[in-house]
Chains A and B, each alone.
Chain A
Amino acid sequence: GDQVEQSPSALSLHEGTGSALRCNFTTTMRAVQWFQQNSRGSLINLFYLASGTKENGRLKSTFNSKESYSTLHIRDAQLEDSGTYFCAAPNNNAGAKLTFGGGTRLTVRP
């Protein structure tokens, strides 16, 4: 079946630094969606991409459909960025559900 693999599984950053999270797909996906799950458990929509790159504040995401991966870059990390970041992609059979990756647990330290 369709697989969505995220790396790293956990990441620790000092405030003000940055890093990249990666999402690999085992098959060609038509789109990707990125979410942040905060400390209260709510899922916050970050990006939806069908191709290319989108940027929003300190976050930037790229989706490369041909090479089957997506990245989420965080720069100037803040304490409130802590949480679990999930990527998800629609399945290819009918495209009517999202399959989630295992998530990256990000901890931002002072």
Chain B
Amino acid sequence: GPKVLQIPSHQIIDMGQMVTLNCDPVSNHLYFYWYKQILGQQMEFLVNFYNGKVMEKSKLFKDQFSVERPDGSYFTLKIQPTALEDSAVYFCASSFTKPSAETLYFGSGTRLTVL
């Protein structure tokens, strides 16, 4: 089936530093998402992105977070500066249309550890 690739799979970083998580979505997809999961718990929505803009973000999407997808390259999540509570697994997802109409495809996640 369609694949969403996430790079890197693991990232360890010191608190206060910047980190960029990369996502290579399914090639013809138009909607992109980031989710956060702590210790195998619930998947929490962070943000969705369409047509070059953030459509919706949750309270977890702090001011230190930003997303972009310059010129159809990677869809990225940047955290600057990082905090200890940012340690989690971050999942990227993509879809061709809205999830009310079709499946979302998820990557395998990036495990971020902030020391």
* A interface residues, Cβ below 8 angstroms from B: 30-31, 33, 35, 37, 40-43, 45, 48, 84, 86, 88, 90, 94-103
Contact residues, B71-108 vs A (CB, 8 A):
89, 91, 93, 98-106, 108
Is chain B's binding surface mostly helix, strand, loop or mixed? Answer: strand
* A40 shortest CB reach to chain B, Å: 7
**Can you list 14 residue pairs at the A/B interface with Cβ under 8 Å?**
A31-B100, A41-B40, A41-B109, A41-B111, A42-B106, A45-B106, A90-B98, A94-B98, A96-B48, A96-B99, A97-B33, A97-B45, A99-B45, A103-B41
B103 pairs with A48, CB closer than 8 A:
yes
* B interface residues, Cβ below 8 angstroms from A: 1, 31, 33, 35, 40-45, 48, 50, 55-56, 89, 91, 93, 98-106, 108-109, 111
* A6 shortest CB reach to chain B, Å: 10
* A2 shortest CB reach to chain B, Å: 11
A97 pairs with B48, CB closer than 8 A:
yes
B42 pairs with A102, CB closer than 8 A:
yes
A90 pairs with B89, CB closer than 8 A:
no
